[in-house]
Structure 1
Amino acid sequence: MKTLALFNLKGGVGKTVSAVNLAALAAASGFKTLLWDLDPQGAAAWYLGVDMDETGGMKRLARGRTPIGELIRHTGVARLDLLAGGLSSLHLEAAQADHGALLARLSAPLAEDYHLLIYDCPAGLQAVNEAALAHADVIAMPMIPTTLSVHAYEVLVRYLAKRRLTGLRLYPFLTQVDRRRRLHRELVAALPAQIRTLLHTAIPYASAVEQMGPRRLPLPLFAPRTPPALAYAALWQALAGLLRLHGDG
């Protein structure tokens, strides 16, 4: 089983939208996929039509009182399941265990049933995120092309170096790109030279992405030929290569 984490220090950068669309594309490619919504807000569950009152038990899971399989829910997308409820840093602390080791132990049984595990991480620096980042084969970091987003990336790189996590495979990519804005155009052109691992595919700003909320569906299911859906398809192909996922499952 391969593991992909979607993470950014900042909120509102398209992290959960990206996680949901990439998970749907992975499933459509034939890979049995589990999206683990680590954010207590449960936005990934909302986008996939899973009500939060149908999920939960993270505290019991962290303490070893509930098998992880009991918390997994099927979605309306073939080969895509969801684990929601938000495994917070408080749950990890309550378990009184090494955070990275605990997350690895919890996810180990999933390898029997899934080709790909995707973590949708909450914003910020906290124990659950550090554990997820350390466990991930690839970290995809959505960034809006603004100077503040670039600063957040630089802060993260310094933090990882301080924590001696420099070996992580961190791949930023641009989201919500509005080429009508001069700053966006300038940064789209300049950032590949500044960030060596920046992925080439940029997700454009589009109203179709906003429709994911009221429709409660990922883009590939209701607007597959729109520019953002096509961009996510290209992004998935790049990430699948980095994850060494090939073929139909």
Structure 2
Amino acid sequence: VDRPPIAKIQKMEIGYETIRAGPPAVYESIEEEALMLTGDINIVDLWFIVQYRIKDAKDYLFNVRNVRKTIKKAAEAAMRQTIGDRGVDEALTVGRDEIQEVTANKLQEILDLYKSGIYVVTVKLQDVHAPGEVKEAFERVASAKEDRERFINEALGKYNQEIPKARGEAEKTIRQAEAYAVERTKHAQGDANRFLQRLKEYKKAKQVTKDRLYLETMRDILPEIEKIVISETEEGFLKFLNLRDKGLE
């Protein structure tokens, strides 16, 4: 009786094969499996593995003649379709996780269509790179894109630092302007109130108010002025004024 290993998770390599497990490990590329065309008409050299297990022993034993060959061809077809829907940038850099997930789903659909009795555990990309003839050019492009992303992130970081700072300075300036406006308003209101009070007093006693305002004004300005007092009653004195003194000009 042929009893398939239902509980065992098995592995298949596509695009390459392990020559020696190592360490160090030695691998050999299988170009007819590894070379794939991207959606933007570029070629990538892609190695990946499929991990699977048997989910239905009857289907596994009787519906497919060569299960491993079927899995390999189906996996290669699913990966080619997935890579063909994406650009080379996604394949080489940011799209790896999505490529693995989409390929696994496509592969499972194909194997279920065949009623193979196989369950796809996972698809894992091992290596994705440009073919040797153009690898250096692709690496320069990838490096330039990484630099671009770094510059953008640095600029955004600086922007995020400077904007709150500028916003804080603007709010500070606005608060200072508002405080100054309030102070000037209060001062102006005080001047107006004093004027109205004096006007009220003036209307009650015009001459008294005039005299008081005159005396208050003299009190404010006389301390800053040099004063000369001339007596009209004194005689026999020579009146001399030093007109060269700048303070008397």
Whose relative contact order is higher, 1 or 2, with alpha carbons under 8 Å and at least 6 apart? 1
Q: Tell me, yes or no, whether TM beats 0.5.
A: no
Select the structure that is richer in helix: 2
TM-score (ref. length: structure 2): 0.20
